[in-house]
Each structure stands twice: as structure tokens, then as C-alpha cells.
Structure 1
Amino acid sequence: MNKNNTNSDSSVKTVKRNKTRESLPPKKYQVLEQDWSINQDGVNIYGRLYLPQNLPGKKKAVILSHGLAGNYRDVTKYAQYLAGQGYVAYAFDYPGGAKNGCSTGVGQLNMSIFTEEQNLKTVLNAVRNRSDVDRYQVSLLGESQGGAVSAMLASKYPKEVKSLILLYPAFSITDYAQVAFKSINRVPDTLNLFGFTVGKNYFAKLFNYDLLKSATKYNGPVLIMHGTDDIIVPETYSEKANKKFKHSKLYIFKHAGHDFKGKYVTRANRLITDFLKKN
């Protein structure tokens, strides 16, 4: 086995069904929610800030990215809890990639993981420049496609990302494109992808791109969570990513599907906050 492709500081833990009711530590701070839009180069990124009240000084921050056809509301279950624990949390709509989203400047048929990577860099810069944020303590959290995009950006700008949290990350995107169409010439002008219409631009760069390789170069601490019953992104992709990242931990949730709900959100929030305390 090639040592360069193997992570010597990785671990995998399977989280089984717990018959007892699971709970989280109570929130430490009341949470203030407010709209915050970020504008750059004709792109308007709408998002929602979650701020811990009566906590002075510069704080750690977490930027939360939704998946394809989602919107900022999909990750508020994590943002609200994080703010209650003392973090500045920001969840936003990807321009062109959010269903019923409020961001503008990228058409839905022009959206791709690469336009979203640019959007996330804009958000990262803005959050790091906030007066209430410690610019050296900003982490990225992403689910599904948002997880893949977060990993892409962290791999390019490792010094600007304190840590990385990935929920069922869609490292399968390039494999899907290459298997389904073989080349960009076979891709239709529009395509219904999991109930969301994307354009040819979504696939344009995917045939000469290895997402799993390019998005796992981040050398900081990584937390990955994935469910065994995920029918959108097989857990094997997270297992492969866990081996490629230099410092990562993978938690496999038994019986959880794509998009955690109920007790799986509780488990995820506990793992996220424990991880962020150390990283």
C-alpha cells in the first residue's frame, strides 16, 4: 500500500443505536439571530447569523454549508446549537444551488461545485474579517455537496481554516458524472439531479477532476460523520476520505440515512462540539 495515500492518524468508530434517550448539554448563551448578506463582484450571498449573547471579545466561528438543492435552513439545527455554546455561526444560501434560496448572482444552470467554492471563499473572508470573530479560529462545516465544497476550499487554504467538519460529504460527485456520461459531450443542457435542475456547467470540469484526491489535501483536524443507510452517497466515500486526510476521525452512524434527523442530529451536535473544543 502506498504510504502517501494512507492516513496514519485516522480512526473509524461505529455509533450504534442507543435505546436510552439521548440529550445534549444545555446551551450556555441565549442566541441572537440576524440576517447578514455578503456582496462581492455582483454576487449577493444571503445568510443568517447566529450569535451568542453577552459573550464579550472575539469568538470562534463556524461557517455552515448546505447540500445541493438545500438552503441555509437545513443546517440551522447545528448553527443554533453552536451559537448557544459560544460560537459565531453563519449559515447561508449558495447562489444558484439553493432551493427557494435568497442569494443571487449565479444562475441555477451555471452553478457548480467550483462556483460554490468561490462563494464559500467569499464567505470565509467576510467571517474572518468580522470584529467579533477570531480570524484564526474559523472552522467549516458542510453537509453533502456542501461538505465536498468545504473540503475543497480547506484543501486550498489550510492556514485560513481551523478545522473541518463533514456530514455525509458528497465525494461521489465526480464518479457519478464520469460513470453516467463518460464525457461532457454526452451531458444534456439541463438535467434533473435529485429533484433539482442543473445545467451543463455543473458537469463541465468534472471529467478531468478527481474530487476525492483534490479535496482531501487539508492537513488540519477533520471530523467526518456518515450513515450506513445513505442511499445518495455511499459511506465508502467517507471511508476513503478518512484514509486520505492526514488527521481525521470518521464516525459511522448505524441506520442513519442522508440528512440526519432526530437522534442523529443530537449525536452529531455532541460530536461537533466535543471536536471543536479540542480543535
Structure 2
Amino acid sequence: MSEDKYPSESGRRRFVKGVVGSAALSGVGVGGAATVDLATQPSGGGGGPTPYVGIQLLGGPAPRGMPYIPIELDDEGYIRGVWPEAETVTEAGRTYDVAETEIGGQTYSSEWFQYCGRQQAGGVVPSADQNNYFLSGSDPSYDWQAEELSEGDRLNIDHFSDYESWGNEIGDEGVGKPAEATWRSEGTEGVLPVTVIRSKRIEEKAQEGGEVGNWYSGASEQGLIAYLNVCTHFCCVPGYKTSSDAPNYNAENGVYCQCHQSRYDPFTPEFGTFTALPRPD
């Protein structure tokens, strides 16, 4: 088209182009990733081809799964996301920080979360001194969470004690009990929305061995998993057992994005590579 749909002064036009460009770049495959990295990576920003583990994409326009966040429990049962210690690396003449470690046989990196504008969030900076506990979000979708927790309360494994029977009339009961949270977002720009689920399915898969079992044995605790809840298609915030429309797309027991009907299985890992976007200098 020779004409833009929106006039040049329109903020809407700039927003759409920015989001579409971000979503498109986040889905670039390994073949074109090196070229994208050379063109976009500023000094100190990181980014580029990134192996990751995400919840499995089942269908819809999203290019890939949403990244898991490995979790750990403290001595009182409070749940926090693992954040590796930052180190400075030099690559192709550029020096930048990265937080990276090995978990469950996979290379877990802060760059997993550098997509959909989250590369600009303060909590994604590798060296940022942030609270790694999952904090209850505002206006949660789940009645149990709204009744028991206030915004900013830390999630505890005891909050999920009925995970083998919990249900909310969407899909089957006992699939897994969820909570909505934020992570590494206090006092910074850019919120990292997270979903935490405790499920018997995860407990069982962690005992299987192989790539899947090794991942869950390292990245989960007592059936608890977490993932960054930002759809890789158009950066919306999907829902696990939150939408009455989900059964229409066979997603009643999984994660459903109401924006464009992308569907994910939070209980099956997807191992792949994507192009992480660079952080600002």
C-alpha cells in the first residue's frame, strides 16, 4: 500500500508498527538470527539467537511458546523465580552483561524474557537487584486468590494445597491450581506478569527422566511451575482457565490468548531457539 492507514502524527500508527515489528522479530528462526543480531544489537544490550524452554505452543498465530521461569522455595515455602548471577561478556567487540546458568540440562538466561518490549523492563537487566519472589497481582482472575491474598503478598506453596482438586468450572477439575503474579517489577518501569501453577502432571513428568524430566526436576518444585505470561504473537496477557471461550478452541485445560486465539500447554516444555531483542543501553 502506498498510503498509511494512520496519519503521520498518529501515536496509534507508531504503536502498531512497534509492536508488530517486535513480535515479528521475536519469532525469527535460527537461520536469519545472526543477521538480525548484527543489525540490532547495541553495545551492552545483549540479544540475538537464544536457546530457551517455554510452555508448548499448540496452535494459533503465536510463533513460539512463552518462556518458563525456573522456581525455588525458601525455608518457609515462599516461591521465587531463579535469577542467575550477572557476568560481563565480550562478543564481536561488544561488551555487555548477561545472567546465565545451567538448569535441568538447559542454558537458562535473562535473555529468555527479552521480547515484546520486556527487554526494556528494569527487572530484565541482568545486574538489577530485584525481589525474586512472586508477588500476588492486582485484580486477579481467580476467586481464591482475590479472597485470600492482597496485591504484593508473596505466593506460598500452602496457597496451592488443594491443587489436586481445584477447579473453577472451566475445563476439568484437578488439572492444576493457578495464581497470577508479578516478578522483579517493584519500583521499576515495565511489569513482568507471571502465571504460577501447581499440578500433579508436573510432579509426574519430573520423575520421567530424559530431556523433559530433567528440565522439570531442575526448574520446578513440588509440582510448581511458572512462566512469563506474555503471548509471543502480539504481546497480550493470556489466561490459564480464565476464559469461557477457551473450550471453543480446545484450550479449556491450557492457556488461551483471547486476543487472537493462540493456545499453549503449560505442562509440556518446548525446546527451541528465538531471537532475543537487545536491551537499551
Common fold, TM-score beyond 0.5?
A: no
Which structure carries more relative contact order (alpha carbon 8 Å, separation 6+)? 2
TM-score by length of 1: 0.29
Task: Tell me the TM-score normalised to structure 2 length.
Answer: 0.29
Q: Structure 1 or 2: larger helix share?
A: 1
